[in-house]
């Protein structure tokens, strides 16, 4: 009798947690239907943005993103990890010359997505990474002629931004975003970037 009681207790201990975990899974599946639709796939997606970055220096910026969904923080919020490689060519007019800087950026970031319906979702990014800036100042001064000075720097930058996606089909999203990018170090800029882009599920 004691052996049977122990076996029954052990069996109940195994089955009750399994049943408890299975029930929320069914419920969450029904609740997260729109979320799954608005985020076309849980697989890796690759894409990028093109835009305009501006502060004292301004110019074209390009970025390639890889996004890997991590987990649903709630029925309304999904967390993904994003790795970005970006390039910006920025310029500024100065007296008697031009100043230009080419910037290579590598930024890991967290992306919080907020699905609104099966097609539309909002997102917010927060990341910290590295940048390498190569700058050049070229002037044509009276009595001195043409003068060129160049410099380079490796330092930290942040990315804080938000935007929206529209799911064209289960594998393709198009969207737009606005970002604030504080650069730390000698290249002391806080640039704003407006850009458009697309992501493709692998």
- Could you tell me if 133 and 145 lie in one domain? yes
Q: Which of 3-17, 77-91, 144-158 is least confident?
A: 3-17
- pTM here is 0.76
**Are 15 and 43 members of one domain?**
no
Q: Tell me how many domains the chain contains.
A: 2
Residue 88, domain CATH: 2.40.160.20
User: Strand, helix or coil at 27?
Assistant: helix
pLDDT of residue 81: 97
Q: Which are the contacts of 162, defined by CB distance < 8 A and separation ≥ 6?
A: 122, 123, 124, 125, 177, 178, 179
What are the backbone dihedrals phi and psi of residue 63, each rounded to the nearest 5 degrees, phi first? -150, 140
Domain that holds residue 15: 1-31
Looking at the fold, whether 18 and 93 belong to one and the same domain comes out as no
pLDDT in tens, 68-105: 999 999 989 999 999 999 999 999 988 888 999 999 99
Q: Please report, rounded to a whole number, the percentage of residues in the chain having pLDDT higher than 70.
A: 79
* Residue 50 and residue 198 in contact, taking contact as beta carbons nearer than 8 Å: no
Instruction: Clarify whether residues 132 and 172 are in a common domain.
Output: yes
User: For residue 7, which phi and psi values (nearest 5 degrees)?
Assistant: -65, -40
| Same domain, residue pair 177 and 94 | yes
Do 145 and 103 contact (CB within 8 A), yes or no?
no
Nearest CA to 198 among 160, 155, 154, 168? 168
Q: Is residue 27 domain-shared with residue 39, that is, in the same domain?
A: no
- Give the side-chain half-sphere CA count within 13 A for 164: 6
């Amino acid at each position: 009798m004691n052996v049977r009681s122990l076996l029954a207790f052990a069996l109940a201990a195994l089955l009750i947690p399994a049943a408890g975990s299975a029930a929320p899974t069914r419920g969450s599946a029904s609740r997260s239907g729109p979320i799954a639709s608005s985020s076309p796939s849980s697989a890796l997606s690759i894409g990028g943005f093109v835009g305009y970055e501006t502060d004292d220096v301004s110019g074209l910026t390009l970025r390639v993103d890889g996004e890997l969904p991590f987990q649903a923080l709630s029925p309304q919020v999904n967390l993904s990890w994003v790795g970005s490689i970006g390039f910006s060519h920025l310029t500024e007019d100065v007296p008697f010359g031009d100043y230009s800087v080419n910037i290579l950026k590598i930024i890991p970031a967290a992306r919080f997505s907020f699905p609104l319906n099966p097609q539309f979702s909002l997102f917010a990014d927060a990341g910290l990474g590295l940048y390498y800036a190569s700058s050049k100042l070229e002037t044509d001064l009276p009595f001195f002629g043409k003068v060129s000075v160049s410099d380079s720097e490796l330092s930290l930058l942040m990315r804080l931004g938000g935007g929206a996606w529209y799911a064209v089909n289960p594998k393709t999203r198009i969207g737009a975003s606005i970002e604030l990018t504080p650069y730390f170090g000698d290249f002391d800029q806080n640039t704003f970037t407006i850009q458009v882009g697309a992501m493709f599920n692998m």
